[in-house]
Structure 1
Amino acid sequence: MPCGPIKLFHLSDIHFGLEDQRAIDWVRDCIARERPDAVAITGDLTMRARHREFRAACEWITALDVPVTVEVGNHDIPYFNLYQRFFAPYQRFKKIEKLVETQLDLPDLAIVPLRTTTRAQYQRFPWSNGWVTERALDHCLEAIDAHPEGTRILVTAHHPLTERRERDGKLLTINGTSTMEALAGRKVMAILSGHIHDPFDLTADTAAGPLRMVGAGTLSRRIRSTPPSFNEITIDGDTLHVEARNLERVATPAMQIPEVPENALPPREPGEPISAVGTVPPEDPPVH
């Protein structure tokens, strides 16, 4: 039987280089004071994958002093150095390489990584959205299947797995539908992701059953319709509770958006999903 409640902090899209200093100081203090059982960071540590951004990100993460797993986001692969993008895309993670796409084993619970970021995509350009390759899915499923029956499983990824935008069928995450079905068939408790910058807590219906999808907001100044936030996740037996914590003290239901949008751009058009907070910035802050 599970050994009591487990508390996780789910962070995403910190975007060092355009981070919200007040927000990341607050989160660091929350972690130091509350000592969660683990921290899952679902990608986009940096804004442009620059060396100085990675130095800041790695220093912040290594100072947390709790178990951490880190996913790679599309912003974490070099933008300007194409040689590194294709032949050494994760070299700048060196100081935290033991944390990158690392499985965490907690009492009766495993956090298993799923890579959704790729160096290039022949199907489309730009390459910012997700793609679950056959190799990435096989690696994830093998890790899940290696656990004893009854182990609770969370999967971490950068991109939400929604494959098609609802209103017009536009492609979002390649192979997302089949991946959701595979994870639902393994009775995964939830998949944690980022990329969108607004939190969400949705359930996808698949041919193999339901799959819960939990997204964290951003800790950067690239806000969308909600203030900077992170998810506190409490797992007690078979129950998973999500609280979208934020400095503005906005209630969790008002923070969460009702569906997964096309990408991480601010909602500008009618029909795009937006939270009840609805504070959409007129433009993104400039990136230097």
Structure 2
Amino acid sequence: MTRLFHVSDLHFGAEDRTALDWFAHVVATERPDAIIMTGDLTMRARRHEFAAAADWLADLGCPVTVEVGNHDLPYLNPLARLIRPYGRYRAVERMVERPLDLSGVTIVPMRTTARFQLRLNWSKGRVGRGALKQAVEEMAAHDGSDMMLVACHHPLLEPGTRSTSRTRGGAEALEALAKAGAHAVLSGHVHDPFDVAHPVAGRTVRLIGAGTLSERTRDAAPSFNQIVVRDGAIDVRHRYLTEHA
């Protein structure tokens, strides 16, 4: 059995300290095998926000992989966004897009952010050819016996939540990932948890979204996902702060 905690949208700078303390306590008590953080560590990609997030993640004491979210790109500095969009990530650099090989489970990162898009809302998702190619190649490097989980920030398809992702290339990417052997795609961005079994390429891929541990909640209270992989099956439980209030 492998137990993972899937968390997203911490938004340091607009974090919910009560929610963060609750999550840290659960990690210390239950000791998951790894933590998957699917983007938006910060609110405005400021250096002090990254530093605070890095300290908090390091204190958890578990293997962590971190995806890049749209809020993690420079927000008020367009030149930095275009030239060095991920330069401020140095505080957490060793965790960013870190593939994880656990007992029977492989976590494969895939970037869905873009420094520039030909549309007004740059917060929405985009799967570039290079990002998809890298993810598929990472999956191909394994023998296929592991449960393959892809981690990205934006949902590849709309999950039916109040917020949307509108991820360009998402449907095509999901089909390619399914053909490469993906069992599930983990994401965040919409701030509400979801778990959808989606038929694609002759099989079923789970689309699993984590909520938020920030003050920027939507319909659900602050939450994270507990994911248990056992005997070739994935069990997902949305765990809410309100359950322990």
1:134 partner letter: R
For residues 144-198 of structure 1, the C-alpha deviation after alignment (integer angstroms, 9 at most, x for no partner) is: 00001312110000000017989xxx98111111111111112312100000100
Instruction: State the 1:208 CA deviation.
Output: 4.0
Instruction: Verify the 8 A CA contact 2:165 2:190 in the aligned structure 1.
Output: no
Deviations 1:189-234 (A, max 9, x none): 2100000100000022224432210000000111100100000110
Correspondence list, 1:109-148, <5 A: 109-122=105-118, 124-148=119-143
- The whole-number CA distance in structure 2 between the counterparts of 1:164 and 1:218 is 16
Q: In the alignment, which residue of structure 2 is the partner of 1:272?
A: none
Question: Deviations 1:221-263 (Å, cap 9, x if unpaired)?
Answer: 111001000001100021111111112129xxxxxxxxxxxxx
Is the counterpart of residue 30 in structure 1 residue 26 in structure 2?
yes
Cα distance in 1 between the residues matched to 2:84 and 2:202: 37
Which residue of 62, 68, 72 corresponds with 1:66? 62
Contact 1:181–1:208 (Cα < 8 Å) also in 2: no
Residue in 2 aligned with 1:241?
235
Query: Aligned pair count?
Result: 242
Instruction: Report deviation, 1:87.
Output: 1.4
Matches within 5 A, 1:1-288: 5-122=1-118, 124-162=119-157, 172-249=166-243
Q: TM-score, normalised by structure 1?
A: 0.80
Unaligned segments of structure 2, at least 5 residues:
none
Provide the secondary structure at the position in 2 that maps to 1:33: helix
**Taking structure 1 as reference, are residues 160 and 101 closer, same or farther at Cα in structure 2, changes over 3 Å only?**
same
Q: Please state whether the residue corresponding to 1:195 is helix, strand or coil.
A: coil
Structure 1 Cα separation of the partners of residues 142 and 178 of structure 2: 16
Structure 1 residues 163 and 136, CA gap change in structure 2 (3 angstroms): farther
Which SS does the other structure have where 1:135 is aligned?
helix
Q: 1 or 2, which has the higher helix percentage?
A: 2
Aligned twin of 1:262:
none
State the alpha-carbon separation in 1 of the partners of residues 215 and 9 from structure 2.
10
Higher relative contact order (CA closer than 8 Å, sequence separation 6+): 2
Secondary structure of residue in 1 paired with 2:197: strand
Query: What is the rounded CA distance, in whole Å, between the counterparts of 1:164 and 1:40 in structure 2?
Result: 19
Work out whether residues 164 and 173 of structure 1, in 8 Å CA contact, stay in contact via their aligned partners in 2: no
Give the whole-Å Cα distance in 2 for the aligned partners of 1:19 and 1:171. 21
Question: Which whole-Å CA distance do the structure 1 matches of 2:53 and 2:91 have between them?
Answer: 10
Task: State percent identity of aligned pairs.
Answer: 48
Which consecutive unaligned segments of at least 5 residues does structure 1 have?
251-288
Runs of 4+ aligned residues of structure 1 deviating over 6 Å after TM superposition are 163-166
